[in-house]
Amino acid sequence: MVMTSDYNKKRNDIIKELTTFKKIDYSFSDGHILGSMCSAPHPIAREVYIKFLETNLGDPELFPGTKQIESNLIQFIKELLHAPKNATGQIVSGGTEGNITAMWIAKKLSGKKEIILPQSAHFSFQKIASLMDMKLVSVPLTKQYTLDFTKVNGKITKDTAAVLGIAGSTELGTIDPLPELSDICFDENVFFHVDAAFGGFVIPFLQKLGYDVPEFDFQLKGVSSIAVDSHKMGYSAVSLGTLIIREDKWLDLISVESLYISVKKHAGILGTRSGGPVAAAYAVAKYLGMDGYKKIVENCMNTTRYMQEKLDEIGLTLIIKPTMNVLGVKLSKPDIVAKRLSENGWRVNTMNHLSCIRIVLMPQITKEIIDEFIPILKKTCEEVGEL
Amino acid sequence: MVMTSDYNKKRNDIIKELTTFKKIDYSFSDGHILGSMCSAPHPIAREVYIKFLETNLGDPELFPGTKQIESNLIQFIKELLHAPKNATGQIVSGGTEGNITAMWIAKKLSGKKEIILPQSAHFSFQKIASLMDMKLVSVPLTKQYTLDFTKVNGKITKDTAAVLGIAGSTELGTIDPLPELSDICFDENVFFHVDAAFGGFVIPFLQKLGYDVPEFDFQLKGVSSIAVDSHKMGYSAVSLGTLIIREDKWLDLISVESLYISVKKHAGILGTRSGGPVAAAYAVAKYLGMDGYKKIVENCMNTTRYMQEKLDEIGLTLIIKPTMNVLGVKLSKPDIVAKRLSENGWRVNTMNHLSCIRIVLMPQITKEIIDEFIPILKKTCEEVGEL
């Protein structure tokens, strides 16, 4: 492809058009997206992503170097989650694909179709039910919005394929009683999947920082698989997650024969997939290391506390005391408040079923941004009669 | 994130390490990857991809501009495939996800689980069978490696959820008898999915160039859905495909409620997904336009013919006369030839079940590259006794 002046002219027109669209988007970099569990990627992620853009890990023998980076990333995540030696990982596009893949394995392992899960399960489980014809058996929550373990009793039956526990719920960042769930699943020999899409890069560091959080990873003997997203608190680029499974042989259950690509067996849901996000996530993990992630979690928890204090000062209350850097702010009309904020350039997520807005204190949210946001939130709440 | 000298030092070390891995990869740019259906992306794709890297179309109200670009891309693909007004598109990561999504819709529409498909179906259908507990009813091929329509008779029953036809098979780039399949599916009211992952950006232009190829798109009244990949002959970056479905209301069948992102209904398999590949594919489509794609297909068919002649000159024969820019080269020991070529830096794909290697004449493969390759192929074949 020769770069001619004709190329430049056409290129400029297209970039101009796309830039017009881009300007309508909200942006992570100004800190005005307060409700998302993603962020702008770490600078090294951008640089590395584009370098590996054209690699295709769906055809790994063409890209043995990138495949090695993928193995290194999986190794890093295994260490993060204290995975045993026999464990392996499957790179996925994020928590949704991680959850689907885990349930695919559980279905194949057990030959059964019921999933026992907390009411707060991510909506990807609705997809799983529809796609895979699995049945969701819902367990009510405690007043702290975690799975009520006393209600699990009797739900595990001969039809149970898997139990789900959440380590950092999408709604409020809560952690289910994972040690108890692990024990019962171990005793009953039932597949136990932990959705740590958000919490996987938070909880290990909360533990190191002295917060009182339960064990959540493969140190619990009943845990069969954990999904964790590098594109959430792993500070890398969308879309990249990892599903770690306790036994590498389980991958065979979701592998099919491939007759015309470079490997003869192909595991997992997707085919062609870029090595870009994989190399990016590895570069960020390598750049930050465990100490870097600990520092990020420390900072996020500090801004979380700061946000809490400021909300308290203007008279707003939380649904529950936060476990991690996720806040549910009680409102009687969350949709109206969110809409008004949106018109002023700020984005929070609404959860009408909990009558709250969600604010996630991602790494890019600073105290300065909070100081800018709070008066606008206050004014908005006053205008619509929330305060 | 402040760029300090400390950042630069660490950054340089990581880039150095990753570059070492990258050097082990084969590369599209030198033309030595001859077996893949992907290529290095068009230059404008790279530039645009990174610009939209952080956007998340899984949470579209945060990125209304990028969402609009997605709609424009879908509109372009709809026009390419002569989709009717009621049709809509679902952006997917590629043919595999497109096929899964189509079969998900077919299963929901029909309440049935059998898929009638040619023996040459992509291996993603093995995944579909395993993931969704669907049953594959295989139809034998003709000597031209297309679905043998005379063998379909009696296979469509009350249990049929869908019929699959291929427009550009992964093995040999063949096209199934789509008009005949369309008619029978229309008459029997059965969902008819066309896998045009490779051929979707080829066949429309072969038609314009005067090649004798059958109708394959929504002009056939029985066609229910078509999957096409921008990252194959669409000349954009991995991973990006589009599934076009005839009736937009079918999306409701694969939509679930989402309680905490910006939209209340969410269709399709994956959750978080970057707008990068979407904006890139749109930029390439806009840059090339229908005329640009026609020119690319014309060039690819010219190099295909050139490769054919050169293979003929050294005494190698093809499995079948090619329909598009995909060649199956007969060998008695394709694996051994491919391994030797690989050791010399050239990659072709092997298909042992057809006793051939696959060569795909993607846009980056020039006559010069063919002239470089042919003597090496000849020498290799002589060394292992193929010639």
Interface predicted TM-score of the whole assembly (ipTM), two decimals:
0.97
- Is the pLDDT at A259 greater than 80? The verdict is no
pLDDT value at position A5? Answer: 80
pLDDT digits (tens, 9 = 90+) for A282-316: 999 999 999 999 999 999 999 999 999 999 999 99
pTM, 2 dp: 0.97
DSSP summary character for residue B259: S
Determine the angle formed by the axes of helices A95-110 and A124-132, rounding to 10 degrees: 40
pLDDT digits (tens, 9 = 90+) for B276-312: 999 999 999 999 999 999 999 999 999 999 999 999 9
- Residues of chain B with C-beta less than 8 angstroms from the C-beta of A171: 259-260
Residue contact A11–B262, C-beta within 8 A: no
- Residues of chain A with C-beta less than 8 angstroms from the C-beta of B283: 14-15, 18
Nearest partner of B1 among A231, A197, A284, A345, judged by Cα: A284
The nearest CA of chain A is from the CA of B225 a distance in Å of: 18
Paired tokens of B288: 């090339």
State mean pLDDT over B138-166: 97
Residue contact A54–B238, C-beta within 8 A: yes
- Cα distances (Å, whole numbers) of residue A182 to A190, A208, A221: 9, 22, 7
Q: What percentage of residues in chain B have a pLDDT greater than 70?
A: 98
Q: What percentage of residues in chain A have a pLDDT greater than 90?
A: 95
Q: Is B159 exposed, middle or buried (0-12, 13-18, 19+ CB in 10 A)?
A: exposed
- Is the pLDDT at A3 greater than 90? The verdict is no
Query: Which of B11, B65, B283 lies at the smallest CB-CB distance from A23?
Result: B65
Which of A238, A240, A353 is most worth mutating to test chain B (most B CB atoms within 10 A of its CB)? A238
pLDDT value at position A265? Answer: 85
Is A2 part of the contact surface with chain B (CB cutoff 8 Å)? Answer: no
pLDDT digits (tens, 9 = 90+) for A360-372: 999 999 999 999 9
pLDDT digits (tens, 9 = 90+) for A96-153: 999 999 999 999 999 999 999 999 999 999 999 999 999 999 999 999 999 999 999 8
Determine the residue of chain B that is closest to A257 in CA distance.
B123
Is A132 part of the contact surface with chain B (CB cutoff 8 Å)? Answer: yes
Is A53 part of the contact surface with chain B (CB cutoff 8 Å)? Answer: yes
The nearest CA of chain B is from the CA of A374 a distance in Å of: 20
First-to-final CA distance of chain B: 61
Paired tokens of A329: 């702010």
pLDDT value at position B261? Answer: 64
User: What does the alpha-carbon distance between residue A230 and residue A45 come to, in Å, rounded to a whole number?
Assistant: 11
Question: Which residues 6+ apart lie within 8 Å of A321 measured at CB?
Answer: none
pLDDT digits (tens, 9 = 90+) for B232-272: 999 999 999 999 999 999 999 999 988 766 667 899 999 99
Nearest partner of B151 among B196, B102, B143, judged by Cα: B143
State the number of CA atoms in the 13 A half-sphere of A345 facing the CB.
12
Chain A to chain B Cβ contacts (< 8 Å)? 278
Is A144 part of the contact surface with chain B (CB cutoff 8 Å)? Answer: no
pLDDT digits (tens, 9 = 90+) for A27-39: 999 999 999 999 9
Instruction: Identify residue A308 by its one-letter amino acid code.
Output: Q
Residue contact B49–A47, C-beta within 8 A: no
- Residues of chain A with C-beta less than 8 angstroms from the C-beta of B124: 271
State mean pLDDT over B79-94: 98
- Is the pLDDT at A336 greater than 80? The verdict is yes
State mean pLDDT over A49-66: 96
Backbone phi and psi for residue B32, each to the nearest 5 degrees, phi listed first: -85, -10
Is A231 part of the contact surface with chain B (CB cutoff 8 Å)? Answer: yes
pLDDT value at position B262? Answer: 64
State the number of CA atoms in the 13 A half-sphere of B370 facing the CB.
23
